[in-house]
Amino acid sequence: LQPNVSPGSCWAFSGHQGQVVIKLPARVHPTAITVQHITKDVSPSGTVISAPKDIAAFGVDAAGEEESLLGTFTYNVEKEPMQTFPLKDVLPPRAFSYVKILVKSNWGNPWYTCIYRVQVHGRRE
């Protein structure tokens, strides 16, 4: 979740499912989410099975409050390492203070999943 995308410099969590809640610097109307992982070419193991696969994004007004589904998408390890996913419109359109990223599966690593970078795109309220 940091600017450093060197091999091993990721936010790792145990297993193939996990979540992270990101506090935004201001209330934002989210329009897209960008996810980044390393490529097979720079991976020390030669694989990227720890990359997230199926992901859901939620808008949250405040920690612990009701979540609004913004969209679901699949990170494809065969494509570019930085992938941007447009989010569906939340009806009515609204701004959020937090975005929750829920990783539902990875590309086959049973022990851990790594996320290198997540970016939230949108308009400030």
Q: pLDDT, tens digit, for every residue of 77-115?
A: 999 999 999 987 666 678 999 999 999 999 999 999 999
Asked if residue 1 has pLDDT above 60, the reply is no
Residue 26: inside a domain, yes or no? yes
CA-to-CA dists, residue 65 to 68, 81, 98, 99, 110, angstroms: 10, 32, 10, 12, 31
| Predicted local confidence at residue 14, as pLDDT | 95
Beta-bridged to residue 34, according to DSSP, are 84, 119
| Predicted local confidence at residue 29, as pLDDT | 92
**Distance (Å, whole) CA 61 – CA 49:** 33
Residue 1: inside a domain, yes or no? no
Predicted model pTM: 0.88
Residue 103: inside a domain, yes or no? yes
| Predicted local confidence at residue 7, as pLDDT | 74
| Predicted local confidence at residue 3, as pLDDT | 58
Residue 104: inside a domain, yes or no? yes
Residue 49: inside a domain, yes or no? yes
Which range, of 2-11, 70-79, 82-91, averages the lowest pLDDT? 2-11
Residue 21: inside a domain, yes or no? yes
Residue 2: inside a domain, yes or no? no
Burial of 124 (C-beta count, 10 Å sphere; 0-12/13-18/19+): exposed
CATH no. for residue 85? 2.60.120.260
Residue 6: inside a domain, yes or no? no
| Predicted local confidence at residue 107, as pLDDT | 97
Structural domain for 75, as ranges: 11-124
Number of domains in the chain: 1
